[in-house]
Chains A and B, each alone.
Chain A
């Protein structure tokens, strides 16, 4: 088991490295001289040369990558062109809303989708199953921002249950915080629910066909116990996997949702930075999101050991 954990940990290093190289190259190949942009319009060519030298931009591309990666490891992402501050600081200011939104979304998605998937598998082919599969296709097809405006119009404007837009920090009180966060999280969770419910249904369905289910039923266990302790427990690995893979969808959705609901998080920051052509910020945020994705999937893989004692490696 420890060799498995060690191997899995080591295998993420090449992926992270490739991600870093790709993002570095992407932004280096962008037209425009970063030194000139940092120096501002009034700078003389000597000043620009000075900044270029201090940033190491006069060196070869591999050396530049080395310097950049070294800075990253020390938590230095450079200076934002647009916000005129350290990118690290900028990210620290914006991370709370995004983390809160993502956490609440995952929570809602898992709590709603797993029972739905189990019931659909239990009543396979019935009306509930069909309705869920229909919803699942719809959930994949409904664009996040269309759904967002639909919900704002219905729930916020017509019913007045939630504020239309905006964000309250956790420090301003838990209830206002939650009140502003619920609708965006519901919006974002729909596609995630569609995804997880589909996989839960498929893997519980497969488990229900196994011999131990027949045995469990034969010895007279209550159906709920058969479903949860025997079928669902054995279907846990694919469900955990899809939750991990779904993080990519979630991150894409965060960018859109934060824009629609005017939440000052990292997703909103990405769009603003791209529009302002503020590449150090764009680079840092994309790197952060990608690393988060890789690390979450690493944790999911490691969790198999807990979920499935059969996996010993």
Chain B
């Protein structure tokens, strides 16, 4: 950890700056946050951004170059003129609309996976850290789960359960749960030695209340940071699964699916891969940068470790 940043950090704490103020000043939180906010806006406003329904196709508008105009048949069977900003794929679907709508799927998968993994990780981590008899067996299972490479585990789970949005989210979350469990457990082990926990115990506070009322609130900052990284990695893994053809069903417009469809004609029409690839990389980058910024501001202890 760089000593300069640490001293700045302690100076900020000494000045009683609130976490919010520190967050605002951090450049990577700003950049990551702004890009992410734009992506969320894009996802919400997808229908009003000059898109057509992402499932529409037209045989006459196949393999158009970016910027070319063509026609597309709406769901009512009406032919409308449409400008294909990012070109079209081999079915004559509008890549631009699919990429914009794909933002929704990616962000949804990222956030849902992070929340699910955090929820289970917190539950298991608190149990392992606080109920000593459970610690050994539970952590051995987590060690075993961590030894199976994440992408392979996710691929197999999705293949077993049939691909859908829910199974993909659950499968990716399962690969992330062990890491969260470990983090929460180690935090619990150090926090439970704090005087205020001892005080609560000696006052006869029920175990559940100590776990959720006294210990959990002190784990929040590292968990937010961890959640951000899980979100980034989940977006990546979903795209990889869909790209390999073992993720979300092909009719759902996701960046991975667009690229899976486009890879066949990659040499002739690279735009099929280029645009979703740029969006994917940009999104993951924004979330990762945001995570780094959050780590530096919210959790200086962790920053020192990395």
In the complex, what distance in Å separates the CA atom of A138 from the CA atom of B292?
Answer: 12
Q: Does B200 contact A (CB under 8 A)?
A: no
Q: Please judge, given known A-B contacts A14-B140, A140-B288, A202-B306, whether A19 and B148 are in contact too, CB under 8 Å.
A: yes
Question: Looking at the complex, which of A22-30, A79-87, A104-112, A301-309 is the stretch in contact with chain B?
Answer: A22-30
CB of A289 within 8 A of CB of B285, answer no
Query: Can you report 15 residue pairs joining A to B where beta carbons are below 8 Å apart?
Result: A15-B144, A26-B157, A137-B288, A138-B285, A141-B281, A141-B288, A149-B277, A202-B1, A259-B244, A274-B155, A275-B159, A275-B245, A277-B159, A289-B149, A290-B148
Q: Does A65 contact B (CB under 8 A)?
A: no
Bitwise, B1-26 to A at CB < 8 A (1) or not (0) is 11110000000000000000000000
A interface secondary structure, majority: helix
Q: Does A161 contact B (CB under 8 A)?
A: no
Bitwise, B266-306 to A at CB < 8 A (1) or not (0) is 11001001000100110011001100100000000000001
B interface secondary structure, majority: helix
In the complex, what distance in Å separates the CA atom of A152 from the CA atom of B239?
Answer: 19
Q: Does B122 contact A (CB under 8 A)?
A: no
Q: Does B75 contact A (CB under 8 A)?
A: no
Chain A residue nearest to B157 (CB atoms) is A26
How many B residues have CB within 8 A of the partner chain?
Answer: 44
In the complex, what distance in Å separates the CA atom of A152 from the CA atom of B274?
Answer: 13
Chain A residues with Cβ below 8 Å from B277 are 143, 146, 149-150
Chain B residue nearest to A138 (CB atoms) is B285
In the complex, what distance in Å separates the CA atom of A146 from the CA atom of B245?
Answer: 15
Partner of B151, one of A18, A149, A252, A260: A252
Q: Please judge, given known A-B contacts A274-B159, A274-B246, A293-B149, whether A142 and B281 are in contact too, CB under 8 Å.
A: yes
User: Which residues 150-192 of A sit at the B interface, judged by CB distance below 8 A?
Assistant: 150, 152-153, 157, 164
In the complex, what distance in Å separates the CA atom of A16 from the CA atom of B143?
Answer: 9
CB of B151 within 8 A of CB of A255, answer yes
Chain B residues with Cβ below 8 Å from A128 are none
